[in-house]
Structure 1
Amino acid sequence: MEKRSHLFFLDVGFSNAKGKKLQGRILTCCYDGSGLRTLVDAIGTAPDGLAIDPEHQHIYHTNMAVASTNSGFISRIDIDGKNDTMIIPQGVTWTPKQLTLEPKTRKLCWSDREGMRVFRSILDGSNIEMLIRTAEGDEARKDARNHCVRIAVDVDRHVFYWTQKGPSKGYAGRLFCAGLDIPDGETPDNRSDKRLILDRLPEPINLDLNLKEIVMCMSDKRDPPFGNTINRVDLNNHDKVEKNILVKKLHEAIGLTLDIENSQMYFTDLLGAVYTSKMDGSDEKAETFGSCDVSDALLKLSHPHGGFLSNLTMWSPKRQEGHTKIVGHAYTVKYVRKNHGTDPKVHGHYIDSIPAGSVVFISSPPGIVNAVYGGLMSNRAQYSGAVGTIVDGRVRDLQEHRDLEYPVFARDIGTASPQELLRVSAINVPVRLQSEDQEAIISPGDYLIADLNGVVCLPKGLAEKALALMASQVEADERIAEDLKKGRTFQEAGKEHRANVKFIADEKGW
């Protein structure tokens, strides 16, 4: 029987900060995003790295605390969220970042950013060893090129890898390796086996190893087209290391983990999303792309208006501002006028059966002044794991949605509730867009993509074709942008790089 992953991940707490203090959480869900729940909340010490010990049912996480002081520490928690224990006390490690648990040696390894060091210890926090120190002192601490941020361990080859990230968007990030044991007569400061593997990286963030193929996957969070990506680094020959981009167009790529057994990788970004793809970056999901990317692909497939749903715009968390993007399968709700006696009635409330990871799409009859969606609904939808709500009609309680940082897109706003005029007649049925400008049907299971540019519906029957075109056209557009910065004309660059997109469509008869 197939064994599937259970995910654990951190929410650093940008969306629910109290004053200037972040409130981090540890969450868990099934491999497909279902069953989302919070294990530990209100972690006010800036959690950053996470490691799971399934054998002993423990979670380890780093706490950066206050980066300007030597106040970081490492905690161990039972896998049910209980028995929080500090195993590496304050004063040992300055700003602990990525944490990895090596099952063969039963040791923890972690990077220390402002401490400019890499450590390891026994799982109970004893026998702490410093493996590398890049610099010392307050002046050196100001130079981000000295900051050790991420780590990965290959016990079989007896080496560990770490990154020194450099300044934001500085293309000064580096990847190093060294042996797990310090050479005789040497110290963490002067190791002769320290080796530079890659340099001039935008801002390398997380690392994980596929030891079957001796390759590393690495997230890089800044400055597209080379940053905000997931990358593959071939480590079979340290004298000739190659890096290839697997996934692009993330929003500040951060977390990364590999599920070797099922040939999947999972990754996160600061937009607050968890993504998955195959290990080679293929089978990219619609989450990777923006609304314009989806529309461009659908237009090439002759889908009307590129799937654009007119006059639906962002109202929360801000009004048409910021990097908010929601992507998920449509969970449709159909409202009708109360006097439509032939329409069926729904038992129970639609808001209580929303699947995790879905986008709620609410259809209101045309010409209705009353709002059909309010703040209490967003409270419940967010708890259920919905990624956002799109209302083909009016919403109310705007400040409540914004306080929740919950994404809401709608046609307009209002104050009155719907009860006097409307009722829900069906859930998860095809609904028609209420627009005089176009004809469009939104069906359950269609992809809905919404961001600053608007809302797009990607029919589930076209998803595979559209995703193939999107990956190709996004790469082409990035290459065109590079050429335009070098002075080439748009006509020249477009003719060269967009030819491949047309070739894919023609070759497959699309």
Structure 2
Amino acid sequence: MPDATEAAASPFADVPTTTLADVLGREQVMDIGIRPLWSPVPRVAGPAFTVRCPPGDNLMLHAAIHRAAPGAVIVVESGDLDYALAGGNVCAVAQRRGVAAFVADGLIRDLAEVRDLGFPVFARGVIPIPGGKKAVEPLNAEVRCAGVTVNAGDIVVADEEGVVVVPSARAQETLSAARTKLAKEADETLDAWEEAHRTRIDKILRDQGFEG
């Protein structure tokens, strides 16, 4: 049976990151360097299990795969562009233990293995050389990943459009607003959207003194 945080995150799997970005704003959206490393990637949504890895070291991510609850998205603060945080075996063990995905401000290796596994990884890219394993850091502390502050239990939603972090305290209001927006969009025809869009754009142009 899923725990409360996993249960709270599961409805977000049906919400595109574009909708969440509209509801939450830029500050909750990770920068464009964080992208799916294989395609087409499924949308994932899960509570954050946060990890901090200093540049050149991946010890705590390797520790996290044995400690994160099933359904969790492991979120890694690193910023390291010289060494890989994880490889194929680490991703395979994480997947076997039920981890939903990695979101890492850094690099991985063994991409072909990870792609064959179908394990979602959102990161900055790949490099063939692994990092070291010396630096001990607390798990589930506040981290900063790709410009977004992430706390343990925040809901991370990631798809081919990007990665959005929903603060746990705002989960219900965000989900409600997102569902309302999606329902409105579903009921709107393209003709109606085009008319409203043109009216809005023309007003902005007029207000700015544009003639034409």
1:139 aligns with: none
- 2:69 aligned to 348, 355, 359, which one? 355
Shift, 1:355, TM fit: 0.4
1:26-425 correspondence to structure 2 within 5 Å: 30=1, 32=2, 285-299=11-25, 305=26, 307-310=28-31, 311-316=33-38, 318=39, 322=40, 324-337=42-55, 349-364=63-78, 366-419=79-132, 423-425=135-137
Which residue pairs with 2:194 in the alignment? 490
Change (3 A) 1:367 1:375: closer
Between 1 and 2, higher relative CO (CA 8 Å, sep ≥ 6) is seen in 2
Unaligned runs of 5+ in 1: 1-29, 35-274, 278-282, 300-304, 340-344, 496-510
Partner Cα distance (2:82, 2:117) in 1? 25
Deviations 1:411-459 (A, max 9, x none): 1110111117x6342211111125xxxx421111011111010111111
Superposed CA offset, 1:170-212 (max 9, x none): xxxxxxxxxxxxxxxxxxxxxxxxxxxxxxxxxxxxxxxxxxx
> Which amino acid in structure 2 is aligned with residue 488 of structure 1?
A
Name the one with the larger helix percent: 2
Aligned mates of 1:331, 1:494 — CA distance in 2: 44
> Partners of 1:474 and 1:392 in 2: how far apart?
30
Change (3 A) 1:337 1:408: closer
Deviations 1:142-184 (A, max 9, x none): xxxxxxxxxxxxxxxxxxxxxxxxxxxxxxxxxxxxxxxxxxx
Task: Tell me the distance in 2 between the aligned counterparts of 1:380 and 1:489.
Answer: 46
CA distance in 1 between partners of 2:106 and 2:52 (Å) = 11
Q: Percent identity?
A: 23
Measure the CA separation in 2 of the matches of 1:382 and 1:293: 27
**How big is the shift at 1:368?**
3.7
Answering whether residue 155 of structure 2 is matched by residue 429 of structure 1, we say no
Q: What is the TM-score with the length of structure 2 in the denominator?
A: 0.81
Deviations along 1:272-294, one digit per CA (max 9) or x if unpaired, are xxx979xxxxx982222111111
- State the alpha-carbon separation in 2 of the partners of residues 465 and 428 from structure 1: 24
Residue identity matched to 2:125: D
Matches of 1:400 and 1:470 in 2, distance apart? 35
Query: In the TM superposition, what is the alpha-carbon distance from 1:492 to its structure 2 partner?
Result: 3.1
Report the CA distance between 1:306 and its aligned residue.
Answer: 5.2
Aligned to 1:473, the other structure's residue is in SS state helix
Structure 1 residue 349: Cα displacement: 2.3
Uncovered stretches (5+) of structure 2, i.e. residues with no partner: 200-212
1:79-126: per-residue Cα shift (whole Å, max 9, x none)? Answer: xxxxxxxxxxxxxxxxxxxxxxxxxxxxxxxxxxxxxxxxxxxxxxxx
The Cα offsets for residues 331-361 of structure 1, whole Å up to 9 and x where unpaired, read as 111112579xxxxx97x92221120010111
Match of 1:445 among 145, 153, 170: 153
